[in-house]
Chains A and B, each alone.
Chain A
């Protein structure tokens, strides 16, 4: 198992290097002159050239990339073009907010999705199944940002229950977490249902019934654990999607996380900041995928034996 984890972490290194290379070169494809943009319209060519030299932008792109990489290995993501502060410090100040939002949204979506999916499968082709699947289908199809706007309209502006934006109290996280978690809840519920429907038709479930076990034990102990693998995959994928979706949710609710910082940096053409945000989110995404793979082993003994 330890060997497998080590192998997976080692495999992540070339992928992450590839990501830094890709993002670095895409960001430097951007038309326009960064030094000129920082100095404003009245800057002379000499001033622009001097600033470019100072920032190291006049060196070949590959040299700039290797410098960036060396900095990255030391935890230094460069200096923001707009604020002049350290990118690492700024991102680290915002990161806890994104983690908090993603975790709350994930917990909300899992807690709602699993019972919904299991209930739909157990009560297949009844009204319970139909209602839960219609809710899931609508959830999958609803754009996150639209749901966010609708939640603000109803709960903040009409009912005055939650704040429109900010991160001042526990109330502030309720609407962003619902809007981020709802779509994921729908996907997880759909997968749980289809996997459970298949599992409860297996011979070993019939055997469990024949042995006289209670329905609750059969569903939770025999069917649920065996039907969990696809659900775990989807939960992992959805947490990755949440990192992408947090950009939208954080923008709508002015939540001070990394997603919002990234959009602000895109608008300000702050290349180091955008790169820092993307790299951090990619690392998180890769680790979530790793954890999902490891969870397979925890849930399924067949997978566990493959690691040995």
Chain B
């Protein structure tokens, strides 16, 4: 009896330290072992910091909007690292401010698609039956049109502007997320812990958000990362086609499109924004692949 009353030694409590490691921490540690994913993550953090502090680095009005014809079409130099455009504006400043536009459109559109698609998918997966059928058939209709074409149709109807571009891209993300969340919910819906939550009288909404969704976050996180990459690419594509962000607002696709007219003698104007788009998408893809591996229980 006496022995059970004494305080436990640290060795005896070792098993508790295992429990202290949260799933998030474990996943993050596994992700950190993947060099490519870490490189992608570092690049993205750098890019996000650039976008956030763009105004501190380059004044928007003087560097990105005001014309300076005397310095037009200058090749990259010590003074202008990325050269100047056809109106004499510094391309580096426009690329840095452009990162703000491209990233925010990508993140906002995907966040909207994730929330709306996630709710629809969770409802469809949890309730099943007629509700599931209606939601999924609607998704089938949206998915029957290639994502890029659907975005073009919506922008064509609403008119070319940044807000409409976000709406178009967000809507085209919704069915993909609805499907993924639905299948993830279906995979855990009949687990014992969900049954237990129902048995003790937890409300449906709380069961979905507290018990089901946190347990099927893996595929959702991976898809979100990859979808942001696809959305940034589509944003650039639509701006390139003249259906997105308009001059003088800098956006990578729009910069590339306007640089195309000077490609013969000033190839850097089209090359540099394209490299930025490619590196960002590459970083997101590397991070997405790394997350997929880190979240895969078979690879633990």
* Residue ranges of A at the interface with B (Cβ–Cβ < 8 Å): 14-16, 18-19, 22-23, 26-31, 137-138, 140-146, 149-150, 152-153, 157, 240-241, 243-245, 247-248, 251, 262-263, 266-267, 269, 274, 278, 281-282, 285-286
Contact = CB atoms under 8 A, between A and B. Distances in A.
Q: Which 9 A-B pairs rank lowest in CB-CB distance, beginning with the nearest? A: A146-B274, A18-B141, A244-B146, A244-B148, A141-B282, A141-B281, A266-B156, A30-B157, A26-B157
Interface string B223-240: 000000100010011001
Contacts of B191: none
Contact of B158 (A30, A144, A150, A153): A30
A103 B290 CA distance: 33
A143 B233 CA distance: 6
A23 B153 contact: yes
A248 B274 contact: no
Interface of B: 137-138, 140-142, 144-149, 152-154, 156-159, 229, 233, 236-237, 240-243, 253, 256, 260, 263-264, 267, 270-271, 274, 277-279, 281-282, 285-286
B270 A153 contact: yes
Contacts of B241: 247-248, 251, 263
Contacts of B256: 145-146, 149
Contacts of A241: 146, 148
Given A16-B144, A19-B145, A141-B229, A248 B157 contact: no
A249 B233 CA distance: 14
B146 A281 contact: yes
Contacts of B149: 243-244, 247, 262, 278, 281-282
A29 B241 CA distance: 21
Contact of B286 (A27, A137, A243, A278): A137
Contacts of B144: 15-16, 18-19, 282, 285-286
B142 A22 contact: yes
A269 B160 CA distance: 12
Given A16-B144, A266-B156, 7 more contacts: A22-B145, A31-B158, A141-B278, A143-B281, A145-B240, A150-B274, A243-B149
Contacts of B153: 23, 26-27, 274, 278
Given A153-B267, A266-B156, A22 B141 contact: yes
Contacts of A278: 145, 149, 153
A245 B158 CA distance: 22
